[in-house]
Amino acid sequence: AQKVTQAQTEISVVEKEDVTLDCVYETRDTTYYLFWYKQPPSGELVFLIRRNSFDEQNEISGRYSWNFQKSTSSFNFTITASQVVDSAVYFCALCIQGAQKLVFGQGTRLTINP
Amino acid sequence: EPEVTQTPSHQVTQMGQEVILRCVPISNHLYFYWYRQILGQKVEFLVSFYNNEISEKSEIFDDQFSVERPDGSNFTLKIRSTKLEDSAMYFCASRKDRNNYGYTFGSGTRLTVV
């Protein structure tokens, strides 16, 4: 069975600080996909990134970066120079190849204070 | 950019009533999903649908739930006799084919059972 753990339930930082959201996953499959979604207060799920298990290159998109480490089964997400608009719940998710469903973590509620 | 459209955005219903949540997936997508998120909790898989039949369902998806693709565009989730614990955000999602793991989520329907 697959499992995603986001141990940080809530994080609160002051604007402009860097913040890292942790994600640890469990699967016995060798081919899988990892995702991050943002859920702002309005409730929708906003896709941020998808990464397959064969691509361990870190990725940077503006202030966002992702660190994928298969050795520790982690796919962490860093926001650099955080802004108030980054306040949201962030979900990490896993899907194994050939499967239908996404398995989500519990989410991390991030609050950026001005 | 193509979107998954869900209606209504918010529905209030009395316990015991039937409710139908509607979704219009992206037109060239072949796989359709419903997910549920109880307030403050993680997003959970309910059911996947392909080629006009359910391909996978979770334990949550009991006999009270059904899905249907009544025409070429709509994808519906019906709850026959709603309970208080059915109150949640329901997300519809679609993806293009079995080799494409680009899930597109709708903005959700918030169901409140009173």
Q: Which residues in chain B show pLDDT less than 70?
A: none
Q: Which residues of B touch A45 (CB under 8 A)?
A: 43, 91, 105, 108
Distance from C-alpha of A3 to C-alpha of B44, rounded to nearest angstrom: 12
Structure tokens at A95: 């899907």
| Tens digit of each residue's pLDDT (9 = 90 or more) over A5-17 | 999 999 999 999 9
SS3 content of chain A, % helix, strand, coil (to 5): 5, 55, 40
Alpha-carbon dihedral of residues A111, A102, A6, A45, nearest 10 degrees? 0
Beta strand pairing call for A46-52 and B109-113 = unpaired
Closest-CA residue of B relative to A102 is B45
What would the mean pLDDT of A64-89 be, rounded to a whole number? 96
- pLDDT for B81 equals 95
| Tens digit of each residue's pLDDT (9 = 90 or more) over A89-103 | 999 999 998 888 999
Closest partner residue to B56 among A45, A50, A100, by Cβ? A100
pLDDT at A88 over 90: yes
Band of residue A58 on the pLDDT scale cut at 50, 70, 90: confident
What would the mean pLDDT of A59-85 be, rounded to a whole number? 96
DSSP-derived letter for residue B53 is E
CB distance A43–B108 less than 8 Å? yes
